[in-house]
Chain A
Amino acid sequence: MAHNSYKKLKEKAIETALFLSALSSVLITIGIVVVLSYESFGFFKEVSLKEFLTERQWTPLFAEPKFGILPLVSGTLLTTAIALIVALPLGLTAAVYLSEYAPHRLKEIVKPILELLAAVPTVVYGYFALLFLTPILQKFIPDLSGFNALSPGIIMGIMIIPYVSSVSEDAMKAVPMHIREGSYAMGATKLQTAFKVVIPSAFSGIAAAFIIGISRAVGETMVVAIAAGGMPNLTANPLEPVQTLTAYIVAVSLGDVPHGTIEYKTIFAAGITLFLITLIFNLIGFWFRKRIREAY
């Protein structure tokens, strides 16, 4: 009997320990929210929210500092947009090919290699953007500056191809075979079946894949920190240097910023802006993925 109650106690203790481990993931989120809000609260005591959102310059380290987040947000959106122009068509086409056309053996080989694109350290991509792609692009576009939004944007696009293609392909694979067979029986080609039957059926999954891609591009740091330059620049011109939210945080962290100063707090203000943007995309993506499970 004593043995039994010891056993029960042990079971309970183990379950509690495991539960606490699972709960720790929630603590991380709470930690992120608390740390970001606490430090940016200090920032917004000194800078009004109105200035933060409407001022068109971001020069916190100047003698007369200006704290408008717009140039950093525009830099982030510009590089993200370029990345998506590269990644979405290539990723989706590759996904359709792998899911509907490719022979099984080829797929087994190609898919893991394609996924390696996402495993390459981003600092290596940064090297590639700055020292390989930019010089090549400069041959075609003479007035491209050494630091620009275009080159890191393209490289980021390549980097997120596997996120887009892998999740889209999974979604298309989940479309039941009989739906395709119905289409083939009507005499449709693979192309017609893919675009008029499979893609619409897998829409939620493909949308989720796109959102994951966007979220990755928004949060990507090293490629833009290395190759996009370090100047906050409110522009839509991809040939000019820009600075993103992430690159700004890196640039400030590289210097020795004393704890508690306004410079120190600016990186948290940039961080919370970044966190909110990606949170919105993550929630949309989560909603789409939830819809897939309900589809069939």
Chain B
Amino acid sequence: MEDIKKRIRTIKFWNSVFWITGLLSTLVGLALLFTLLTDLFMDGFPRLSYKFFTSFPSRFPDEAGILSAWVGSFLVLFVTASSAIPLGVAAGIYLEEYAGKNWLTDIIEINIANLAGVPSIVYGLLALGLFVYFFKFGESILTGGLALALLILPMVIMATREAIRAIPNSIREASYALGATKWQTVQSHIIPYSTGGILTGIIIGLSRAIGETAPIITVGALTFIAFLPSSPFSSEFPFVSFKWLFDPFTVMPIQMFNWVSRPQHEFQLNAAAAGLVLMAMTLLMNGLAIYIRYRFRRKIKW
């Protein structure tokens, strides 16, 4: 009897030990995230000023800023979003609503799962071979944006599919029963009801794209750019110009990378400030995604 009691005590002891270990290892990640943010904040915050956002990079750390970097990031992201969103959402709709169960669908599915696991730098090499040298887009904003579009396409497709899969079949059946065609059903039911989920996936994908460095370096973005791309608006007809698509560029993470790699401490402070801006963008986008998911989940009840 004593033996058994002792055994139970030991077992219960180890159970509590694990309870604490588990809690601690969960908190380790959180603590590190917190440390990282604090460290970045302490180093970078004093450098943040209006001038930092409106100056070009410079040989003098005090005068250097991120103007060309954030403009570049914004334009690249614009290209990425306008190519990856339509393509990804359309592919997701096809796979959930139209695709039959056959070998072709299987191949597409395995392929998307595999693409999601391909390292980002490999997309950079693809873009280098295909967009820079085969299509002759050069080392331009268009190339960078398309490279990131390829990268986030699997994420957009998977988010779209998951959002559509959550819609109960009764909705589709009700629509068909009224004589609606497949596309009418998709257009007026499937897309509106899955917007929340799709939007969440898109924003998370874009937040990943904005922080991506490796593929953009591979396609040959420059690390020192002291000018802005040509303006998308022109004074002559047709008033919009797409010349900026073919301009050389830099983006936020590359600017930060460039400053990190310099030995001078002042430049590293600049890197921290750029990192802080980058983190703020990423966290804002992720926060927005969580908020949208939460709102749509509350609004729609089946």
A17 contacts B111, C-beta separation under 8 Å = no
Tell me which residues across on chain B come within 8 A of A102, comparing CB atoms. Answer: 22-23, 26
> In the complex, which residue of chain A has the Cβ closest to the Cβ of B40?
A124
A281 in contact (CB, < 8 A): yes
Chain B residue contacts of A112, Cβ below 8 A: 290
Can you list 26 residue pairs at the A/B interface with Cβ under 8 Å? A10-B183, A11-B181, A15-B94, A22-B94, A25-B111, A25-B157, A28-B150, A36-B126, A89-B25, A93-B21, A97-B21, A97-B26, A101-B19, A114-B30, A116-B33, A116-B286, A119-B204, A119-B208, A127-B268, A189-B15, A218-B119, A226-B257, A249-B125, A249-B218, A253-B217, A281-B117
Tell me which residues across on chain B come within 8 A of A117, comparing CB atoms.
Answer: 29, 32-33
Q: Which 7 A-B pairs have the closest CB atoms?
A: A219-B119, A121-B211, A97-B22, A35-B129, A21-B90, A18-B94, A221-B214
CA distance A101 to B26 in the complex (A): 12
Task: Tell me, rounded to whole Å, the shortest Cβ–Cβ distance linking A264 to chain B.
Answer: 9
Task: Indicate if the CB atoms of B290 and A35 lie closer than 8 Å.
Answer: no
Contacts of B278 in A (CB 8 A): 121, 123-124
Which residues 112-131 of A sit at the B interface, judged by CB distance below 8 A? 112-114, 116-117, 119-128, 130-131
Which residues on A sit within 8 Å (CB–CB) of B123? 32
Q: Which residues B3-62 have CB closer than 8 A to chain A? A: 11-12, 14-15, 18-19, 21-23, 25-26, 28-30, 32-33, 35-36, 39-40
Total A-B pairs in contact (CB under 8 Å)? 266
A interface, how many residues as a size bin? 35 or more
Interface of chain B residues 242 through 282 with chain A (CB within 8 A): 253, 256-257, 260-261, 268, 271-272, 275, 278-279, 282
Interface flag for A215 (CB, 8 Å) = yes
Are A267 and B286 interface neighbours, CB within 8 A?
no
User: Which stretch, A51-59, A137-145, A233-241, A271-279, touches the partner chain B?
Assistant: A271-279
Given contacts A21-B94, A94-B29, A96-B22, contact A278 B119 (CB under 8 A): yes
B272→A127 contact, CB < 8 A: yes
A binding-site residues for B, Cβ under 8 Å: 7, 10-11, 14-15, 17-19, 21-26, 28-29, 31-32, 35-36, 38-39, 89-90, 93-94, 96-98, 101-102, 110, 112-114, 116-117, 119-128, 130-132, 158, 161-162, 165, 189-192, 194, 212, 215, 218-222, 225-226, 246, 249-250, 253-254, 259, 267-268, 271, 274-275, 278-279, 281-283, 285-286, 289
| Interface pair B120/A219, CB less than 8 Å apart | yes
Are A131 and B260 also in contact (CB < 8 A) when A28-B115, A31-B126, A246-B121 are?
yes
Complex CA–CA separation, A28 to B129 (angstroms): 13
Interface pair A124/B33, CB less than 8 Å apart: no
Asked if residues A250 and B26 are in contact (CB atoms below 8 Å), the reply is no
Residues in chain B within 8 A of chain A (CB atoms): 11-12, 14-15, 18-19, 21-23, 25-26, 28-30, 32-33, 35-36, 39-40, 86-88, 90-91, 93-95, 98-99, 107-108, 110-115, 117-126, 128-130, 133, 150, 153-154, 157, 181-183, 204, 207-208, 210-214, 217-218, 220, 223, 253, 256-257, 260-261, 268, 271-272, 275, 278-279, 282-283, 286, 290
Q: Chain A nearest CB: distance from B262 CB in Å?
A: 11
Chain B residues lying within 8 Å of A289, measured Cβ to Cβ, are 113
Question: A32 to B98, alpha carbons, bound, how many Å?
Answer: 27
Tell me if A25 and B126 are in contact (CB < 8 A): no
Q: Would A275 and B122 count as touching, CB distance under 8 A? A: yes
Residues of A within 8 A of B107 (CB): 26
Checking B121, B125, B211 against A120 with a beta-carbon cut-off of 8 angstroms, the contacting residue is: B211
Chain A residues, CB < 8 A from B91: 18, 21-22, 24-25
